[in-house]
């Protein structure tokens, strides 16, 4: 595709000729439908892309081969011909027992990995008997207060064969300690455990807003888990650097890409500062992206992400192990794209988004259920969501060849533009002193809010269409069945928490918590201390509170 | 014409941190000429009602996506009655299933806006139902 200057000139001349002689007259019959065409992120889109858009494009450098740097075409040489992506449906509700039952059902339906959703008190490091937990127990995920809950949650699940992802952030180290303690007690070898801890606190400050401690001690907890995983749980993904929530908060595709990768840089820098070698831990960093409605922009985003990360790891961090520069990612379809209006349409949205993630080379995928603007999914809705992936994997034949959109003038051009935009954002954030500093001055937060507000206005002006919301609206909606969390969940959970508290060795709990507090004030790795606490059945809330005494709490600046 | 602007408290009860909706609504109400106080995240019913009292607002807009609405929203409306703030218009938005709506409305939430509601609809509703503002 790279051509001699004369070749380029000729291409441009012939494009101009086509525009004047063929395109222009056609506008007279069919004037443009819109004053300007943009991606869902507001990025301008041309009427036609051709070889002239890829001037100086060197496929060998820009694309390479799958499984080789810069990994634009995918991180595995054979991609889905060898092994399909992992179909990993995020799920959790009620008590550990309720969720364990759903896990066993999903595995029986052909799901190939687990992904745990925790309830909000757990996500915030609070026990179920904390006053603010009232009304929230088991609502948007499963309640986990102590190791006893973890034991029930994973009952009858072989942790050496099934990989487990845990979406938990500010108290991630504690929940992981519970998981590791359960695995150990069940006789599973830590060396064989495979899974992912989300553990991405930076995107919490930026987008999802679930935090306990200020950024610096929070980053220390992240580096402690990275270091512990490196030495003791080598197949574990210690951080899942997440753009998903950034996008859900209303960012553009480019902001999602740039802020996520810049968060990644921040974690690598922190771990290096903590004394780790890049190649010791970088292969176990993974990423998590959104799969939104704009099909081509999303595909370009994933391709650009791999390419940029590869260059970052090589040039900025001098990694030698090729696995350090491979960006592996999980994708989830966009929750924020789902509509409460005509909810069955969400099945179609999700399928299109899932296809983008697959054509973009994802390693694992969650497809949302159609009823999620109302409540957690019913079993039927969750099954359709899983079936959508299975149809894509088997019937559509899209998994037969690697990176099928490579060489598309449009997709390659978009990939280049997103890549360029990403480097520009890096430069700005570097100039601010890095991502923590940028967060402290609310830079990414403001950028996202502006984008979210701009999109909302475009929808309200009718410039961006949402079917069933501002176009093709019906007056009478047909109600759908939704899942109700049975009211007994809170009582059951409180009951089991009280039983654990009554039966544990109080002295061992107090001793382990005191040890943790002492260590928190030093720079020792906290994982062994957290393991002692949870093995003594200290509660999540007790452990988080103990660290709060040393670390303090975070207050979001007003912006 | 010197009509007193409508004062609105946009508040986020519950433990979830999803503030995209609340912040967009706050900005849209401000752009429509209202005075908006944003509570910040994870406010207890008591904090919200106290803020409403102190700020002397005409309207409270509650955003909740955590699923705890059936517990938290009635507590807020009960507290408002206790503090004799019944004349404050209370509206809510978020992830709220249809079957929960009648009970919440009976408890004193005037209107519930589901995902997809335009900010213009919300502005219009508040303008039409905040009689107190022009006093």
Burial class (CB in 10 A: 0-12, 13-18, 19+), A556: middle
The domain A1-6+27-70+244-460 is classified under which CATH number: 3.10.20.600, 3.40.50.2300, 3.20.20.240, 3.30.70.1230?
Answer: 3.20.20.240
| Cβ–Cβ gap A373/B99 under 8 Å | no
Give residue A376's pLDDT.
87
Domain B7-134 in CATH: superfamily? Cobalamin-binding domain (3.40.50.280)
The one-character DSSP state at A418 is H
Average of per-residue pLDDT across A389-402: 97
> What's the pLDDT at A4?
57
Q: Tell me the nearest-neighbour CA distance from B135 into chain A, angstroms.
A: 31
Note the pLDDT of residue A106.
86
What was the pLDDT predicted at B134?
45
Model confidence pLDDT, tens digit, residues B68-127? 999 999 999 999 999 999 899 999 999 898 899 999 999 999 999 988 899 999 999 999
Contact A225, A172 (CB under 8 A): yes
Q: Cis check for the bond before A163: say yes or no (omega within 30 of 0).
A: no
Residue to mutate among B12, B15, B26, with most A CBs inside 10 A, is B15
Read off the pLDDT band of A483 (50, 70, 90). Answer: confident
Residue B135 predicted with pLDDT over 50: no
**Torsion, Cα of A64, A66, A67, A73 (10° steps):** 80
- What's the pLDDT band for B66 if we cut at 50, 70, 90? confident
Q: Which structure tokens are listed for A349?
A: 């949205």
Determine the Cα–Cα distance for residues A391 and A91; give it in Å rounded to an integer. 21
Closest CA to A50 of A464, A427, A408: A408
* Nearest CA among A126, A246, A136, A369 for reference residue B66: A136
Q: Per residue in A490-546, pLDDT tens?
A: 999 999 999 999 999 999 999 999 999 999 999 999 999 999 999 999 999 999 999
CA atoms of A36 and A40, how far apart (whole Å) = 12
ipTM of the complex: 0.90
pLDDT level of residue A275 (50, 70, 90 thresholds): very high
Instruction: Kindly state whether A484 is in contact with chain B, defined as any CB-CB distance less than 8 angstroms.
Output: yes
Partner B contacted by A124 (CB < 8 A): yes
Q: From the CA of B34, how many Å to the nearest CA of chain A?
A: 17
Is A188's pLDDT higher than 80? yes
Q: Does B121 touch chain A (CB under 8 A)?
A: no
Q: How confident is the model at residue A109 (pLDDT cuts 50, 70, 90)?
A: confident
Site of tokens 């390479």: A64
Mean pLDDT of A267-294: 97
**Any CB–CB contact under 8 A between B40 and chain A?**
yes
Cβ contacts of B116 on chain A, cutoff 8 Å? 339-341, 373, 466, 468-469
B6-40: pLDDT as tens digits: 999 999 999 999 999 999 999 999 999 999 999 99
| Closest of A485, A102, A558, A169 to residue B66, by C-alpha | A485
**Which of A126-130, A299-303, A472-476, A530-534 has the least mean pLDDT?**
A472-476
Q: What is the pLDDT of residue A5?
A: 56
Residues of chain B found within 8 Å of residue A484, distances taken between Cβ atoms = 97, 99
User: Whole-angstrom Cα distance, residue A86 to residue A43?
Assistant: 31
DSSP secondary structure letters along A241-294: EE-HHHHHTT--HHHHHHHHHHHHHHHHHHHHHTT--HHHHGGGEEEEEEE-S-
For residues A151-171, average pLDDT = 96
| A209 interaction partners in chain B (CB closer than 8 Å) | 17-19, 41
High-pLDDT (> 70) share of chain A, %: 99
Q: Tell me: pLDDT of A71 over 90.
A: yes
Return residue ranges of chain A for CATH 3.20.20.240: 1-6+27-70+244-460
> Would the CB atoms of B118 and A470 count as touching at under 8 Å?
yes
Q: How many distinct helices (H) and strands (E) make up chain A?
A: 22, 10
Spatial separation of the C-alpha atoms in residues A121 and A136, rounded to whole Å: 7
């Amino acid at each position: 595709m790279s051509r001699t200057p004369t070749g380029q000139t000729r291409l441009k001349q012939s494009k101009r000729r086509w525009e004047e002689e063929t395109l222009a007259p056609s506008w007279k019959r069919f004037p443009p439908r819109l004053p300007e065409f943009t991606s869902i992120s507001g990025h301008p889109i041309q009427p036609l892309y051709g070889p002239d858009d890829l001037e100086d494009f060197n496929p060998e450098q820009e694309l390479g081969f799958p499984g080789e740097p810069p990994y634009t075409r995918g991180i595995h040489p054979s991609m889905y011909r060898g092994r399909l992506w992992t179909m990993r449906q995020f799920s959790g509700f009620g008590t550990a027992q309720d969720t364990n039952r759903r896990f066993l059902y999903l595995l029986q339906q052909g799901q190939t990995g687990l992904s745990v959703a925790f309830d909000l008190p757990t996500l915030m490091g609070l026990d179920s008997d904390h006053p603010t937990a009232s009304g929230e127990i088991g609502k948007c995920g499963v309640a986990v207060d102590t190791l006893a809950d973890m034991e029930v949650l994973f009952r009858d699940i072989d942790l050496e064969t099934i990989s487990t992802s845990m979406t938990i952030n500010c108290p991630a180290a504690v929940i992981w300690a519970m998981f590791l303690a359960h695995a150990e007690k069940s006789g599973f070898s830590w060396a064989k455990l495979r899974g992912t801890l989300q553990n991405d606190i930076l995107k919490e400050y930026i987008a999802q807003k679930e935090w306990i401690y200020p950024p610096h001690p929070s980053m220390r907890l992240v580096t402690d888990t990275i270091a512990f995983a490196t030495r003791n749980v080598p197949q574990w993904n210690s951080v899942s650097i997440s753009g998903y929530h950034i996008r859900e908060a209303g960012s553009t595709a480019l902001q999602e890409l740039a802020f996520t990768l810049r968060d990644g840089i921040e974690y690598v820098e922190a771990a290096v500062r903590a004394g780790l070698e890049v190649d010791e831990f970088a292969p176990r960093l993974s990423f998590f992206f959104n799969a939104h409605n704009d099909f081509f922009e999303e595909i370009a985003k994933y391709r650009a992400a791999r390419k940029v990360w590869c260059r970052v790891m090589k040039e900025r961090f001098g990694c030698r192990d090729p696995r350090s520069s491979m960006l592996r990612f999980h994708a989830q379809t966009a929750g924020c794209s789902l509509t409460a209006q005509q909810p069955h349409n969400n099945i179609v949205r999700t399928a299109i988004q899932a296809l983008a993630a697959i054509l973009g080379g994802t390693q694992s995928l969650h497809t949302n259920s159609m009823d999620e603007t109302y409540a957690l999914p019913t079993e039927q809705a969750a099954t359709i969501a899983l079936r959508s992936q299975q149809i894509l994997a088997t019937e559509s034949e899209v998994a037969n060849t690697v990176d099928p959109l490579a060489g598309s003038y449009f997709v390659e051009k978009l990939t280049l533009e997103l890549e360029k935009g990403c480097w520009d954002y890096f430069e700005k954030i570097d100039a601010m002193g890095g991502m923590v500093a940028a967060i402290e001055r609310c830079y990414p937060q403001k950028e996202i809010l502006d984008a979210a507000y701009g999109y909302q206005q475009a929808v309200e002006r009718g410039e961006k269409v949402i079917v069933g919301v501002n176009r093709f609206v019906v007056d009478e909606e047909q109600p759908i069945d939704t899942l109700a969390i049975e009211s007994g969940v809170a009582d059951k959970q409180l009951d089991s928490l009280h039983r654990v508290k009554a039966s544990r060795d109080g002295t061992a709990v107090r001793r382990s918590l005191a040890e943790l507090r002492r260590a928190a004030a030093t720079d020792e790795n906290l994982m062994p201390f957290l393991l002692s606490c949870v093995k003594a059945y200290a509660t999540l809330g007790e452990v988080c509170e103990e660290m709060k005494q040393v670390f303090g709490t975070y207050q979001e600046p007003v912006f | 014409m010197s009509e007193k602007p409508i004062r609105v408290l946009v508040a986020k009860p519950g433990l979830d941190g999803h503030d995209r909706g609340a912040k967009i609504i706050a900005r849209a109400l401000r752009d429509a000429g209202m005075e908006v106080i944003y509570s910040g995240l994870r406010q207890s019913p008591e904090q919200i009602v106290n803020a409403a009292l102190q700020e002397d607002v005409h309207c409270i807009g509650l955003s909740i996506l955590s699923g705890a609405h059936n517990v938290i929203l009635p507590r807020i409306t009960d507290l408002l009655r206790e503090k004799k703030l019944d004349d404050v218009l209370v509206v809510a938005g978020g992830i709220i299933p249809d079957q929960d709506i009648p009970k919440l409305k009976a408890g004193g939430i005037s209107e519930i806006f589901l995902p997809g509601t335009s900010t213009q609809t919300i502005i219009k509703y508040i303008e039409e139902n905040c009689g107190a503002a022009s006093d």
